[in-house]
């Protein structure tokens, strides 16, 4: 498995304008506080979990919200552009090209090369930028950790692994059995 590559710049930090000039070469380019993160395309298991979770979320999503899957750029500032594996946004926040307002939900599906990026770096940015809910899904275990923003910090609102079912009520009711996301 190819590890995530970080490409710092000596002259200045990366901006979203720099990111827009990069080639469309099949790699995932993200920007986190001015640092360029480059990741390989996700593996098949990752995509299977993403598709199954998308269907669950889409089925329960109320009309004022929308469920989207990567690649969709979320750009809360000029030095950050992240692509959650799945996200939920308010329909009123949809823009022509990117999302800039805080997300209702960001979901990251772990890959061997993305654990630190997703569980530490992105989690911190989502929290600091006011993303109300953050879920981390691990296809390897399989498991889900559901976090909710309260008082400026994430708190755990639910966890499940294997054949356990978790019912989450925010941002809207949904029941998830991690083992079922892999089939």
- Residue 164 gets which letter from DSSP? -
Low-confidence ranges of the chain (pLDDT < 70): 1-11
What b-and-e string marks burial along 138-166, b requiring 16 or more CB atoms within 10 Å of the CB? bbeebbbbbbbbeeeebeebbebeeeeeb
pLDDT tens by residue, 85-116: 999 999 999 987 889 999 999 999 998 777 88
pLDDT of residue 4: 47
DSSP annotation of 8 reads -
Instruction: Report pLDDT for 10.
Output: 57
pLDDT at residue 113 in the model: 76
Q: Which structural domains are found in the chain, ordered by start?
A: 42-181 (3.90.1570.10)
């Amino acid at each position: 498995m190819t590890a995530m590559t970080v490409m710092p710049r000596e002259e200045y930090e990366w901006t979203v304008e720099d990111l827009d000039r990069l080639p469309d070469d099949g790699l995932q380019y993200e920007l986190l506080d001015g640092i360029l993160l480059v990741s390989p395309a996700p593996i098949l298991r990752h995509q299977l979990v993403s598709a199954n979770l998308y269907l669950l979320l889409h089925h329960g999503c109320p009309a004022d919200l929308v469920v989207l899957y990567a690649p969709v750029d979320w750009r809360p500032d000029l030095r950050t552009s992240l692509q959650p594996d799945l996200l939920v946004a308010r329909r009123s926040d949809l823009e022509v090209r990117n999302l800039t307002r805080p997300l209702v939900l960001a979901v990251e599906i772990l890959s061997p090369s993305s654990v630190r990026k997703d569980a530490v770096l992105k989690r911190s940015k989502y929290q600091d930028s006011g993303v109300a809910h953050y879920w981390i899904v691990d296809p390897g275990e399989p498991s889900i950790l559901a976090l909710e923003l309260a008082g400026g910090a994430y708190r755990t609102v639910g966890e499940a692994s294997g054949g356990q079912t978790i019912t989450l009520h925010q941002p809207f009711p949904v029941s998830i059995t991690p083992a079922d996301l892999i089939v």
